[in-house]
């Protein structure tokens, strides 16, 4: 079999709401600090960015969760902040702490001076990591490429790192909306090129992480976050290797805007645990697939509680295709790996009942 031939396309089928035998599953941040083998490679690499810059090490950690668990996708090991770093802001991570930028955006002049790094220039190391992941995966499961949304990236660039209030980023939006739009447009165009590069390098599905979109009011969410995600999606190649490349949009805290998100051109909408899958399916399930949405804190609970909650999520979505099982946000570093095993086992054992011919005919 050629290394490009997929042995498991369950997730690509589910993204297009096609029939599957069981609900496909992956976990946001599935490669990371909850795995001892990740911490080992991270220490060997020296810094987080050195790990991202080494295609061989990035591919190795991308595959680590798949060696432990029978998951239906791999997600490229990298970070959303590679883009602002390549724009010259100088990203670093202290071990166990959040990201810090050496420079931050403080004025309209800073925005106009920002360069637009190319997928095959400053960000070529990410494309090399995509190619290395595909090589190592050898068709085992599809590879998901990703980016941060323009708004989410902008918050880190303006705040200089993580934030609780987003005061500086929101002040730019409120006081200088034109400058904010120029920054978001620049980011959208850079990110569209970045994702296109990932598809050309071998990414088989894409995800846009809009982690901080839910901090905006409804009108500004639409104009300063969603509009730029739509602009990116419009610019993307939607087919590669003879198949559609599905795009998932995940706005954390975006439950009240699902109808608008489903219209942005995406194939799937990611949900956090504050929206019920039943409600989301009723509202937008005839247009897009749904990804989610177990609270990542649930993985700290006892395995029998985890199993019961998996059953509840499956029952909430109900019968038929169009569900990709995931957490409602990234897995936490303190998560016991054996609880993840219980989670995966529960999805494998309980979900086939919601698929197949009998299930399809029972769908209203
Ligand atoms: O010290 C370390 O080892 C760094 C920890 C770490 C890891 C494992 C960071 C720093 N990033 C990553 C990998 C990562 N980040 C992936 C890899 C693929 C995977 O297995 O899923 C992905 C998809 C991301 C995406 C990412 N980075 C997001 C969006 C998703 C989300 O969780 O909301 C965000 C907001 C970031 C920023 C970031 N990078 C790292 C940290 C600790 C953070 C969050 C900082 C904050 O809370 O503001």
Question: Can you give the CATH number for the domain in which 53 is found?
Answer: 3.20.20.210
Q: What is the pTM of this model?
A: 0.96
Give the residue among 252, 103, 110, 111 at the shortest CA–CA distance from 181.
111
Question: Residue 99 C-alpha to ligand 1 middle, in angstroms?
Answer: 9
Alpha carbon nearest to ligand 1 atom 36, residue: 80
Residue 76 alpha carbon, nearest atom of ligand 1:
18
312 is catalytic: no
Omega of the bond leading into 293 within 30 degrees of 0 (cis): yes
Taking CA atoms only, the protein residue closest to ligand 1 atom 20 is 29
Question: How far is the C-alpha of 27 from the C-alpha of 237, rounded, in Å?
Answer: 25
Q: Are 61 and 52 in contact (CB under 8 A)?
A: no
Instruction: Quote the percentage of the chain above a pLDDT of 90.
Output: 95
Would residue 29 show up in a list of annotated catalytic residues for this protein?
yes
- What's the confidence (pLDDT) of residue 356? 75
Q: Could you confirm whether 238 is annotated as catalytic?
A: no
28 lines ligand 1 (CB under 6 A): yes
Q: Is the Cβ atom of 170 under 6 angstroms away from ligand 1?
A: no
**Residue 33 bears catalytic tag:** yes
pLDDT given for residue 146 in this prediction: 98
For ligand 1, the distance from its centroid to the CA atom of residue 145, given in whole angstroms, is 14
Q: Which residue has the higher pLDDT, 362 or 204?
A: 204
Do residues 129 and 77 lie in contact, with contact meaning Cβ atoms separated by under 8 Å?
yes
Q: Quote the number of domains for the chain.
A: 1
Catalytic residue among 9, 72, 79, 85: 79
Query: Ligand 1 centroid to 158 CA: how many Å?
Result: 18
Tell me, what's the pLDDT at 358? 54
Mean pLDDT, range 180-206, rounded to an integer = 98
**Annotation marks residue 287 as catalytic:** no
Tens of pLDDT along 242-258? 999 999 999 999 999 99
Return the pLDDT at 364. Answer: 41
Provide the pLDDT for residue 297.
98
CB atoms closer than 10 angstroms to residue 346 = 23
Task: Assess whether the C-beta atom of 75 lies below 6 angstroms from ligand 1.
Answer: yes
Q: Are strands 99-101 and 91-93 parallel, antiparallel or unpaired?
A: antiparallel
What pLDDT, in 10s, does the model give residues 283-341? 999 999 999 999 999 999 999 999 999 999 999 999 999 999 999 999 999 999 999 99
Domain that residue 192 falls in: 3-363
C-alpha 79 to ligand 1 mean position (Å): 6
Average pLDDT in the 190-206 region? 98
Mutate which of 153, 163, 330 to test ligand 1's pocket (most atoms within 8 Å of Cβ)?
330
Averaged pLDDT, 37-52: 95
Distance 53 CA to ligand 1 centre (A): 15
Q: State residue 119 phi and psi, 5-degree precision.
A: -60, -35
The pairing of strands 205-210 and 143-148 is parallel
Give me the chain's average pLDDT, please: 96
Residue nearest to atom 14 of ligand 1 (CA): 79
What is d(CA 201, CA 179) in angstroms, rounded to the nearest whole number?
A: 33
């Amino acid at each position: 079999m050629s290394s490009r031939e997929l042995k498991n396309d369950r997730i690509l089928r589910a993204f297009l709401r096609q029939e599957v035998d069981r609900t496909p599953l992956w976990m946001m941040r599935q490669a990371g600090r909850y795995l001892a083998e990740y911490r080992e490679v991270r220490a060997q690499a020296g810094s987080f960015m050195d790990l991202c810059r080494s295609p061989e090490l990035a591919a190795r950690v991308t595959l680590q969760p798949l060696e432990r668990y029978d998951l239906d996708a791999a997600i490229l090991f990298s970070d959303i902040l590679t883009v602002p770093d390549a724009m010259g802001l100088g990203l670093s991570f202290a071990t166990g702490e959040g990201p810090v930028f050496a420079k931050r955006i403080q004025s309209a002049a800073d925005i106009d001076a920002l360069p637009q790094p190319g997928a095959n220039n400053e960000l070529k190391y990410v494309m090399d990591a995509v190619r290395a992941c595909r090589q190592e995966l050898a068709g085992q499961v599809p590879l998901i490429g990703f980016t941060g949304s323009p708004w989410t990236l902008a918050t880190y660039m303006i705040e200089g790192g993580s934030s609780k209030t987003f005061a500086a980023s929101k002040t730019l939006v409120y006081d200088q909306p034109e400058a904010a739009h120029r920054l978001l447009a620049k980011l959208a165009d850079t990110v569209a090129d970045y994702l296109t590069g990932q598809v050309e390098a071998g990414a088989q599905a894409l995800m846009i992480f809009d982690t901080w979109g839910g901090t905006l009011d409804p009108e500004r969410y639409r104009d300063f976050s969603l509009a730029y995600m739509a602009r990116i999606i419009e610019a993307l190649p939607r087919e590669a290797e003879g198949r559609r490349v599905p795009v998932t949009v995940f706005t954390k805290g975006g439950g009240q805007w699902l109808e608008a998100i489903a219209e942005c051109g995406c194939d799937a909408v990611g949900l956090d645990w504050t929206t019920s899958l039943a409600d989301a399916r009723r509202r937008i399930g005839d247009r897009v697939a749904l990804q989610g949405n177990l609270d990542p804190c649930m993985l700290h609970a006892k395995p029998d509680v985890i199993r019961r909650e998996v059953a509840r999520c499956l029952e909430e979505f109900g019968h038929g295709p169009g569900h990709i099982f995931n957490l409602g946000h990234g897995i936490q570093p303190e998560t016991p790996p054996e609880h993840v095993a219980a989670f995966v086992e529960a999805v494998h054992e309980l979900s086939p009942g919601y698929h197949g011919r009998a299930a399809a005919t029972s769908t209203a």
